[in-house]
Amino acid sequence: MLDRWFKLTVHRTSVKQEILAGISTFLAMAYIMVINPNMLSATGMDAGAVFVATCLAAAIGSALMGLLANYPIALAPGMGLNAFFTFGVVGAMGHSWQVALGCVFWSGVIFFLLSVFKLRQWLINTMPRALKTAIAAGIGLFLAMIALQNAGIIVNNEATLVGLGDFKSAEVLLTFFGFLVIVVLHHHRQHAAIIMGIVLVTTLAWLLDLVPYQGLVAMPPSLSPTWWQLEWGVILDLALWPVIIAFLFVDLFDTSGTLVAVAEQAELLDEDGHLPKADQAMMADSGATMAGALLGTSTTTSYIESGAGVTAGGQTGLTALTVALLFLLSLFLSPLAGMIPPYATAAALLFVAMLMLAALRSVAWDDASEYIPVLLTALIMPFSFSISDGIAVGFIAYALIKALTGQSGQVPISVWVIAVLFTLRFVFLL
């Protein structure tokens, strides 16, 4: 039955190989079970409920990807998008987490419709690579700022806005230690580098009596504090459309890049370099986002860590289904997740930020009309503490600079439309 459904023989793989690949992918992305509740609880959401929502959203998304598209790609609430949810929409903009969940849900609905009506491919293909890179790099800097703050490495300073914290504190030292451990393990291609770094720092903190021991296994916490708590009417508020669009764009570009990168690694692309079941994969991703919002978590998206499973031999959706089952089993590890201190996750956040900043290597540094919009986007995001503002500035800057330098023909219609909409937002809604 498994061979017929997942076409194991066609892909020259086996049940054992797929399960081992799924375990590799799960270990590479298991850190999200710790980081997501830690981050979203800053909005006032119940950490236990968010932990359950995170595991369930990851399980649902990974299962959908495996069953609908038969790809070895796992999903979970995305890094960067959870930071935007917490520190941007709720923290800086002052909206409730219920409103933020509503924005996530409707972004998933729009993503689904784009996939159904074949508009997704047009939007992705017409979007300049510079803007895609700018969004990835900007989110990287945004995450880095959050990580440095959570660790106490960067603190408030009345004269200069920010300054260095106390480098002699145990929290700062443990953050640097955890970060270095993750970097070294990653260098040696240890797929579970991030989660191993988090567990090691947490263990040291427990031994130093910095965190209380709460146990390892227990029944899952209640989901009721976050289940179906989203604000449905946000779609009718024009002031919230930039937030919905920001969630949509980041998820759209992140998912597309991840799908192509992992599929290429697994040699699943066709002779034209296209993804054969891209629409099914996108529907799985958008469906997981909607389900995650109903459960009580930020945007669920495809994970680049799926490459760890492909490296281990994963070729089919059975790998993703294995990840889904492991996330369901992880529901019983809530005490362990509750023990993780902020400085342990800060080390992981900082490392993920560094990985995202690596996208800057693809920028055309010899063309100012390309790299200036990228840098503006990347700088505005952390300094304004808003991913949506960074995206808005990036699109406007790209269109204007290209037009003023006589290169307006290089600006796609989609970019002009989005740039105009963002300009109207700054004029009338800011």
Domain boundaries defined on the chain = 2-130+208-341+359-428
| Beta bridge partners of residue 156, listed in sequence order | 162
Extended beta strands in 226-328, E state: 300-302
DSSP code of 350? Answer: H
Phi–psi pair at 41, nearest 5 degrees:
-65, -20
Q: Which burial class, exposed, middle or buried, applies to 227 when counting CB atoms under 10 A from its CB (0-12, 13-18, 19+)?
A: middle
Half-sphere exposure of 194 (CA within 13 A, CB side): 24
Q: Maximum distance among all alpha carbons in the chain?
A: 67
Distance CA 259, CA 166 (A): 42
Q: CA 264 → CA 230, 275, 281, distances in Å?
A: 37, 9, 15
Query: Pairing mode, if any, of strands 154-157 and 300-302?
Result: unpaired
Alpha-helical (H) ranges within 77-234 are 81-83, 97-116, 119-126, 129-151, 170-187, 193-207
- Determine the pLDDT at residue 121: 67
Sign of CA dihedral 93, 94, 97, 101: negative
- Determine the pLDDT at residue 46: 95
- Determine the pLDDT at residue 403: 93
pLDDT tens string for the chain (430 positions)?
777 877 777 778 888 888 888 888 888 888 899 889 989 999 999 999 999 999 999 999 999 999 998 899 999 998 888 988 998 899 888 999 999 999 999 999 998 998 887 776 676 667 788 887 888 888 788 888 888 888 888 888 888 888 888 888 888 999 999 999 999 998 998 877 888 888 899 899 989 888 888 877 889 999 999 999 999 999 998 888 888 988 888 888 777 777 776 777 677 766 665 677 778 888 899 999 999 999 999 999 988 788 778 877 888 889 999 999 999 999 998 887 778 888 888 888 888 888 888 888 888 899 999 999 999 988 998 888 777 788 889 999 999 999 999 998 888 888 898 888 888 877 765 5
Extended beta strands in 320-409, E state: none
CA nearest neighbour of 21 among 208, 250, 154, 191: 191
Alpha-helical (H) ranges within 191-316 are 193-207, 241-265, 278-295, 306-311
CA nearest neighbour of 22 among 324, 262, 319, 326: 319
416, 171 contact by CB (below 8 A): no
Distance CA 156, CA 161 (A): 6
Distance CA 51, CA 36 (A): 7
